[in-house]
């Protein structure tokens, strides 16, 4: 069942989203060669706590940190580590969740570390633009399959791999709610969107094939062919004539 949020709830979700956006703003300034992913985790955790929120991911299903830091061939769920030092040419996707008065915000962004290749730049641009291609069809009355299809249609011409095992999702009192939102699909299928639905849209795109595997730590998800991967995500609310991004300042 897809929950419809009241305006009171949306205001709280918006504050959670604002805190997540604030974390990304702060993070941006610190992503450079020589920084460990653990330092980034500490930085984000402080911003969340300083804003009277709690990290949504810490302890979620046993996840040990406040951010997912997914470097290069890591698709999602990378665990921050003091041993993992960013270097020139890396790309890193940082996923952040904050819970404010019981409501979550969820947003991921991919960043370049120093100077990256044109190929990696394209991968990141296509993934980000695919997120907005999906968002831009959202309004009351469209099918969820229309959104999934718009994301897929944007990525396909580039020949990149669209990850199938992980999806976007509803957001609210729970970090993950119905519906699952695939990054590929058929127009005119699935549930019809209604005003007040809060959704996290999050394409995960590989430079190579779509196939992924999970490392023995049970979290870190990598591309099978070791190609790089990008991830962009916003939490939004469906409106009558469009959508409103919640994970923004």
Name the site residues for Mg ion (rule: CB under 5 A): 95, 106, 108, 200, 233
DSSP for residue 85: B
Cβ closest to Mg ion, residue 73 vs residue 233? 233
CA 165, chain centre distance (Å): 14
Q: Give whichever of 120 and 233 is closer to Mg ion, judged by the CB atom.
A: 233
CB-based contact 85:34 (threshold 8 Å)? yes
- Between 123 and 200, whose beta carbon lies closer to Mg ion? 200
What is the spatial distance between Cα 243 and Cα 249, in angstroms, rounded to a whole number?
16
- Residue number with CB closer to Mg ion (87 or 248): 248
Report the SS3 class of residue 130: helix
Residue 29 is given by DSSP the state: T
Minimum CB–partner distance for residue 213 and Mg ion (Å): 20
Q: Tell me how far, at minimum, the Cβ of 95 lies from Mg ion, in Å.
A: 4
Give min distance, CB of 97 to Mg ion, in A: 6
DSSP-derived secondary structure letter, 143: B
Residue nearer to Mg ion on the CB measure, 66 or 157 = 66
Crossing angle of helices 37-50 and 7-28, in 10° steps, is: 140
Q: Could you tell me the smallest distance in angstroms from the CB atom of residue 171 to Mg ion?
A: 7
Please tell me the distance from the alpha carbon of residue 197 to that of residue 140, in angstroms, as a whole number: 9
Least Cβ distance, residue 68 to Mg ion (angstroms): 7
């Amino acid at each position: 069942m897809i929950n419809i949020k009241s305006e009171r709830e949306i205001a709280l979700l918006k504050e959670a989203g604002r805190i997540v956006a604030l974390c990304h703003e702060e993070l941006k300034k610190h992503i450079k060669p020589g920084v460990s992913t653990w330092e980034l985790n500490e930085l984000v955790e402080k911003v969340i706590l300083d804003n009277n929120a709690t990290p949504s991911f810490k302890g979620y299903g046993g996840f040990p940190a406040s951010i997912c830091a997914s470097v290069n061939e890591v698709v999602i769920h990378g665990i921050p580590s003091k041993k993992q030092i960013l270097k020139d040419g890396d790309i890193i996707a940082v996923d952040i969740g904050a819970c404010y008065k019981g409501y979550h915000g969820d947003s991921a962004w991919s960043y370049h570390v120093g100077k990256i290749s044109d190929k990696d730049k394209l991968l990141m641009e296509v993934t980000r633009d695919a997120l907005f291609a999906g968002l831009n069809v959202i309004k009351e009355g469209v099918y969820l399959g229309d959104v999934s299809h718009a994301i897929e249609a944007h990525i396909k011409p580039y020949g990149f791999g669209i990850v199938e095992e992980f999806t976007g999702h509803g957001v609210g009192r729970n970090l993950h709610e119905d519906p699952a939102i695939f990054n590929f699909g058929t127009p005119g299928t699935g549930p019809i969107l209604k005003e007040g639905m809060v959704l996290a849209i999050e394409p995960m795109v590989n430079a190579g094939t779509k196939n992924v595997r999970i490392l023995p730590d049970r979290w870190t998800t990598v591309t099978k062919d070791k190609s790089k991967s990008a991830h962009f995500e916003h939490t939004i609310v469906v409106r009558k004539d469009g959508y409103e991004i919640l994970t923004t300042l």
